[in-house]
Chains A and B, each alone.
Chain A
């Protein structure tokens, strides 16, 4: 045995042999990991090059159609370019509206992208299905209605919410009838998502909601009122009056959040003295929206409430009353004898005055 081969031979001692082979194993694993990192980097670069090529090819066409031009001939959209095309198309659709949005739809139809998207929706991987959902929603593709409706029951929340959004885009009236009861039922879906999806169908949702509210179980009513609030839906006055007369605090506060007509003024005034402080907070805010000059005195009385939030909201409501100018507010502040009332009123005036000066 030469000196060099002896240096690489496995030792005969079992402990040394174990250490030797462990070292060899670790070295091999490190080399494999290094090779994998290099492979991933090469794949990433190749993908970035494909992205850049697709963007360079399609961006001028997108720009042209967005400004109202109709390219005479279009290049073929290869399968490899399709995801990049759809990603950019969806991104631009989310940022544009009107003629530009219609022009993007026309471009997608000329290229037959909606047919590819229907296939992606039915059989694609998750990312492809998400992209297809967004594309078909923007296109208002009625042929995808049934598939999208099936997807709304997917355990994948992102996919199901995207499918719900697409249904609203395709047919707001049909979607409102289907989605409104679903959204009231599914209180695990965040209100921001619900409002974001339904906002483009707020008129049909208002109609569905008005029919639905009298039939809803009491425990579902607060959620329904929150949806109405988020979508700024005007509910029938009788529905709101019943809710404000309820013994359920959730219902009363839900109705106070959306009440917006002077017809409800007397009922709201009655709630300014409610035993629950959350009701008093929202009643003060509501009076700020629908009150008349006689309500200044009622709101001023709440400036001395035992709850800080009631005092704060009452002060905000007074300061935002359109018929009170800075001099009126200063006079009211000077007339306050309760220290807590004067403090909270001074704070709210200070919070609003910088904006007035800028304006």
Chain B
């Protein structure tokens, strides 16, 4: 494993993806971004597991619930921590995310510092 923990960011909103990548890289994490559900599925089945997955629920083609199910079923990815980004006022989505195998969730609109704090629970500080 590299000294820098790696984070896979699955987010279709290009502006939010930029913010997330900037925040995470500034904390010393190595970030890979994919912009839709289909690309995320392709990544999960063809690439080695990262140290954490930051996964939006609402994605084009394949939603976040399906992707977290795939992650839990994919050899090598089963125990990767998955942090899901769910929309405000959709408690049902939050329950579904946890039921599907997510380790934690952050509600959008989100506070960057809260997201980083939740992420740190699963990752060692970057070198």
Closest Cβ–Cβ distance, residue A121 to chain B (whole Å)? 24
Residue in B15, B99, B100 whose CB lies within 8 Å of A92: B15
Residue in A59, A68, A97, A355 whose CB lies within 8 Å of B99: A355
Interface size on A, residues (CB 8 A): 21
Given contacts A66-B23, A355-B99, contact A97 B110 (CB under 8 A): yes
Q: Which of A58-109 contact B (CB under 8 A)?
A: 59, 62-63, 66-68, 88, 91-92, 94-101
Asked if A99 and B111 sit within 8 Å, CB to CB, the answer is: yes
**Residue B121 at the chain A interface, CB threshold 8 Å:** no
Asked if B22 and A91 sit within 8 Å, CB to CB, the answer is: no
A-facing mask of B93-127, CB < 8 A → 1, else 0? Answer: 00000011000000011111110000000000000
Closest Cβ–Cβ distance, residue B22 to chain A (whole Å)? 4
Asked if B111 and A95 sit within 8 Å, CB to CB, the answer is: no
Residue in A96, A199, A355 whose CB lies within 8 Å of B110: A96
CA distance A101 to B108 in the complex (A): 12
**Residue B43 at the chain A interface, CB threshold 8 Å:** no
B107: nearest chain-A partner, CB-CB: A97
Asked if B99 and A98 sit within 8 Å, CB to CB, the answer is: no
**Residue B73 at the chain A interface, CB threshold 8 Å:** no
Residue in B15, B18, B99 whose CB lies within 8 Å of A359: B99
**Residue A334 at the chain B interface, CB threshold 8 Å:** no
A101: nearest chain-B partner, CB-CB: B109
Q: Which of A59, A68, A96 has the most CB of B within 10 A?
A: A96
Task: Please name all residues of chain A whose beta carbon is closer than 8 Å to the beta carbon of B110 when the two chains form the complex.
Answer: 95-97
Closest Cβ–Cβ distance, residue B109 to chain A (whole Å)? 4
Closest Cβ–Cβ distance, residue B9 to chain A (whole Å)? 14
Q: Which of B1-36 contact A (CB under 8 A)?
A: 13, 15-16, 18-19, 22-23, 26
Given contacts A92-B15, A95-B13, A358-B100, contact A67 B23 (CB under 8 A): yes
CA distance A66 to B18 in the complex (A): 11
Task: Please name all residues of chain A whose beta carbon is closer than 8 Å to the beta carbon of B112 when the two chains form the complex.
Answer: 66-67, 96, 99-100
Q: Which of B67-104 contact A (CB under 8 A)?
A: 89, 99-100
Asked if A96 and B99 sit within 8 Å, CB to CB, the answer is: no
CA distance A358 to B65 in the complex (A): 13
Closest Cβ–Cβ distance, residue A258 to chain B (whole Å)? 17
- Residues of A contacting B: mostly: helix
CA distance A66 to B24 in the complex (A): 12
CA distance A59 to B110 in the complex (A): 18
A354: nearest chain-B partner, CB-CB: B99
Given contacts A92-B15, A95-B13, A95-B16, contact A67 B109 (CB under 8 A): no
Asked if A100 and B16 sit within 8 Å, CB to CB, the answer is: no
Asked if B113 and A66 sit within 8 Å, CB to CB, the answer is: no
Asked if A97 and B109 sit within 8 Å, CB to CB, the answer is: yes
Closest Cβ–Cβ distance, residue B30 to chain A (whole Å)? 17
A60: nearest chain-B partner, CB-CB: B22
Task: Please name all residues of chain B whose beta carbon is closer than 8 Å to the beta carbon of A94 when the two chains form the complex.
Answer: 109
Task: Please name all residues of chain A whose beta carbon is closer than 8 Å to the beta carbon of B99 when the two chains form the complex.
Answer: 355, 358-359
Q: Which of A91-131 contact B (CB under 8 A)?
A: 91-92, 94-101
CA distance A137 to B54 in the complex (A): 30
B-facing mask of A139-161, CB < 8 A → 1, else 0? Answer: 00000000000000000000000
Given contacts A355-B99, A358-B99, A358-B100, contact A98 B114 (CB under 8 A): yes
Asked if A95 and B100 sit within 8 Å, CB to CB, the answer is: no
Residue in A63, A68, A97, A99 whose CB lies within 8 Å of B18: A63
Closest Cβ–Cβ distance, residue A186 to chain B (whole Å)? 23
Asked if B15 and A66 sit within 8 Å, CB to CB, the answer is: no
Task: Please name all residues of chain A whose beta carbon is closer than 8 Å to the beta carbon of B18 when the two chains form the complex.
Answer: 59, 63
Chain A contact residues, CB within 8 Å of chain B: 59, 62-63, 66-68, 88, 91-92, 94-101, 199, 355, 358-359
The 5 sampled A-B contact pairs (Cβ below 8 Å) are A63-B18, A92-B16, A97-B110, A98-B113, A101-B109
Known: A95-B19, A96-B109, A99-B112. 20 other contacts (CB 8 A): A63-B19, A63-B22, A63-B23, A66-B19, A66-B23, A67-B22, A67-B112, A91-B15, A92-B15, A92-B16, A92-B19, A95-B15, A96-B19, A97-B109, A97-B110, A97-B111, A100-B111, A100-B112, A100-B113, A199-B89
